[in-house]
Every structure is written in structure tokens, then in C-alpha cells.
Chain A
């Protein structure tokens, strides 16, 4: 039975955006924590930790998100964890986010001038205290615009997990299309919903970026 693309279909598509947002938040949370650890490891004084972090970043940035998804999906199930697709999707997107955020934040930590390390060391702060009170507060300020910019990439890449059956925006569009056979209309609506989520975030990232440069000059 072929249906028209009516209000109930529209509502189905729009409301499935909640899973897109949920996946984004999960990946941002888990991936953020993991990415923070990776950023710290990447600038650690222990060479093996640096290599490990660099390897992880290289892997995540050198492989399609789709492969990260399959690897974590099958890898986790082989490890005896029979995870629902949503969880597997959340985990793989967290891995993805950790690789990119780790690299972005490494850059932010390293852009804090070395004199700040030296001045705080001279005041007898321990390494942890240097991070906590001097370096990270400054790195966080620098990190906000690129991190917000990355969220746009994250939102868009959640579409890929539709392949394992998570009914987020892209999958919802697919299902509605299978029922209505009006692909142009359906996927334009899907694209519009993504756009409504991503564009404001893009604008915010640009605004933050500009504001920071103005702040610098002043």
C-alpha cells in the first residue's frame, strides 16, 4: 500500500531527530571524556603514551566512520557483549569523536605558551596543578570554537549508523520513502531537519571564533 507523504509521515521524520540528537550527545559525552584523556596522553612526558594516543588518532582519522561502526559492532559482540544497535552506535560514534576531539584539544593545550608552564613550575606547582589551574583554563577558552564546529560533523555522521537499524533521521527518511515512494520530497525534508540542527551550530562556532580573535586583539 503506497501512502502519501502527509503530516504523520512528516511528524515521524521530524520526531526521529531526537535519536540523532541523543546519539550526538552520547558521542559528545563519552567521546569527550575519552578525547580528553587522549589529548592529555598525546602531550604526556611518557613517550609510549604519546605513541598510543597518536596511533588512536591516526586510526580514527584514517578510517571511514562506517568502518569504526562495523568494527565496534562486531568486535563488541565477539567480546560477548550483545549490544542493542543504539548502544553499539553510540559507542562507535564516541570512538569517532574521541579521535577528532583528542587531536583538536591537543592543539589547544599545546598552543598555551610554554612560558606559562615555566612560570607555574617556578612557583612550585606540581604537574597536575599546572594543568588544573594554569594550562587547562587557558586551553579551554581556545578549544570552544573548534569543538562547537566539530559538533556539526558529529551530527552529520550520526546518519551513518542508520545502517545497523537505529531509527534516527536518515533511517526514518528511508522508512518513509519505502512507504511513500516520494524520495525527493522525503529526503529534502530530512536534509532540512539536519540543516535546522547544524546551521545554528555552525553559526555559533563562527561567532565564537570571531569573538575570540577580537578578544585577543583588545
Chain B
């Protein structure tokens, strides 16, 4: 059964149509990379999957929750779908541990002890167990991004969405975040990740999707897609080095 099922999704900002009828499916445990030029609608697609943007047409089914243009059932869906952004967006007034414990406590109603256990466990998973009492301001970019990932994981989501999570980082810090993502993939997490790290997508993602002008232009097993692109647009994208 598919964990993510997207059917004919259209999304416009005013007169600008950004998603022009997107359909895709993601199976449980699958890792799917989304690549494409800047402005092709990658972020918008992820944001729609989490219900952060209302859609004008089509249907989105994620982890058993259905989203349509009415926007009902958003919060239930978000409990099962984690999203991590390019800018980490940690809560600056809360310590690392409290950042992670907040949603399990107030949304899921976990006890303090249970939330604390989740924070310890997810921080260990991203390799930052010792930072539980640290303030977000005192973390490096790579550490902050890993905390943001831990914060999403603490909700025990069925799907994780990542939107260019390494793009804001200095090159020497991307490695630690990519390693965290790879660890998650190996642990069997269902993941959709928008990325410009082509080598990473090719190696880690089971499948890669190329978005072009608001549509899924080409998709296939990562190795095949990168080694033998079928469409001219993808060939140009992969060779041009243009983002």
C-alpha cells in the first residue's frame, strides 16, 4: 500500500500556476529524491503534502489521511508527516530538549518523562545526545539542522519530508546532515527529499523524480535516471550544472 498518493494536484499562487496536475506514489520504506530547477515547484509540492499550502484541485493521501481543497483533517495528517526546512526554524526561546519535547507533549499528550525519553532517543539518532540542554543559538548550522530532524522524528511520523536541508549549510557541514539522512533511510523511514546533492540522491534514493515547470517530467530508479536520462530537459539539467 502506498504511504503517499498524490492525484492530479494543482496549486496556484494567484494567477501563477505552480503545480499543474502532479500525480505520484511513494511506497512504505521508499526513499524518493526530488530534483529540478529552482522554481519548478519542488518546495510547493512538499508543503502541500504537509498541508501547509491549500490545493486548488486534486487529492492528496498521506499515511491514511486525505487532504482535499477543503483543508479538513490537517492536524491529524501533520502528526504523521514530518517536514524539515532549509532554514532549521528551531524555537529560539526553548532549549534543544524542549524544542523536541514540545509537540509530543502538547499535541500527542505525552507525559514529561515520555517526551524526554523521545528527545533523548531522537537526539542520539542524529548524534547529538549531549546537546539536550543546549540553546539553539549555540549550535552550528549542521547541528541545528540535525536537531530540527530530531524534533520531527520525535512525533514518530510515518513519512518524512526534507526540503533542501543542506542548502543553507557551509560545505564542510553538509556531510554530517547527509549522514543523518542516510541513517534514517537505512532504518526504513519513508522519505521524500528535495535535494541538489545529486551524488547523494543517486546513491541513497531508491527512486528519483525530476520536476520541470510544475510537472513530474521524468522519474525512475535513481541509478537508471542519472546514468541514462530519457528527456532532453533532464539531460540538460544534469549536465548544465544549472540549478
Contact = CB atoms under 8 A, between A and B. Distances in A.
B-side binding surface: helix, strand, loop or mixed?
A: mixed
A144 interface: no
- Which of A120, A122, A137, A141 has the most chain B CB atoms inside 10 A of its CB? A122
Interface string B96-124: 00000011001100000000000000000
Contacts of A119: 85, 89-91, 148
Interface residues of A, number: 18
A212 to B, nearest CB: 13
B196 interface: no
Interface in A125-170: 125-126, 129, 133-134, 137-138, 141
Contacts, number: 54
A18 B155 CA distance: 54
Nearest to A134: B91
Interface string B80-100: 001101010111110000000
A99 to B, nearest CB: 28
Interface residues of B, number: 24
B89 A123 contact: no
A116 B91 contact: yes
A215 to B, nearest CB: 9
A115 B91 contact: no
B87 A123 contact: no
B222 interface: no
Interface of B: 50, 52, 75-76, 78-79, 82-83, 85, 87, 89-93, 102-103, 106-107, 137, 148, 151-152, 155
Interface of A: 115-116, 118-126, 129, 133-134, 137-138, 141, 218
